Amino acid sequence: MSLSATQTKPLTKPSMHMLCHQAPVIPVLTIHDLGHAVPLAEALVAGGLPVLEVTIHTPAALAAIPLMARVPGVTIGAGSLLNSQHVNQAHQAGATFASSPGATRQVIDACKDLALPLLPGAASPTEITDLVNYGFDLIKLFPASAGGPAALRSLSAPFPKVHFIPTGGISQDDALDYLTLPNVACVGGSWVAPAQMIQEEHWGGIRKLAHQARLLGNGH
């Protein structure tokens, strides 16, 4: 059943738009070791990327969120939310926004009930249409690499009032191809915090990658 067929009051989320004005890239982070949480957040913020999304599918993720939230200047969200239990766990952990790879009415309603701003995911025009009818005008396009920048250019005509945060498969090499599109608010990516660098605690290298990503916004 489509979301539009069972609408409830749309979720208001002005802060989601504000987040994209803070930096052109939202790092999508996978935390396996709780000891990495704070220095990772510090490195990314120092590099100029203050808005972070922590995927919740590792045992350390929910415990990492409140630790990272204490880093000065950071804004922490929870990603990969699939159901209302995930939403509740993310909210209790202190996440200030939620992100989902796809969108279900269960996730949308749970976020609305908690007044937790949501970035819902979509992969097709049908899913985007459902979210527009539900009241969203900022949508995660996931996985972005499936259609690339060409798909986003094509989506601008049927969805002129929608802005997107393409996520999934984006790298430093092609991020600017997305960011120069008028319907792209910012991008999500994991390249600024590679798993090997995190494992090796190479915080200086991650800070440098964050700084390079931040500079992508100069022409955006």
Residues with a known catalytic role: 53, 140
- Structural contact between residues 176 and 149, judged by C-beta atoms closer than 8 angstroms: no
Alpha-carbon distance of 142 to 135, in angstroms, equals 19
Helices (H) and strands (E) in the chain, counts: 10, 9
Q: Is 187 left (phi over 0), alpha (psi -120 to 50) or beta?
A: beta
Please give the full DSSP string across 178-213, using - where no structure is assigned: HHTSTTB--EEESTTS-HHHHHTT-HHHHHHHHHHH
Query: Which among 125, 131, 126 has a CA at the least distance from the CA of 151?
Result: 125
Query: Which among 40, 2, 7, 15 has a CA at the least distance from the CA of 204?
Result: 40
The total of other beta-carbon atoms located within 10 Å of residue 179's CB is 20
- Structural contact between residues 82 and 57, judged by C-beta atoms closer than 8 angstroms: no
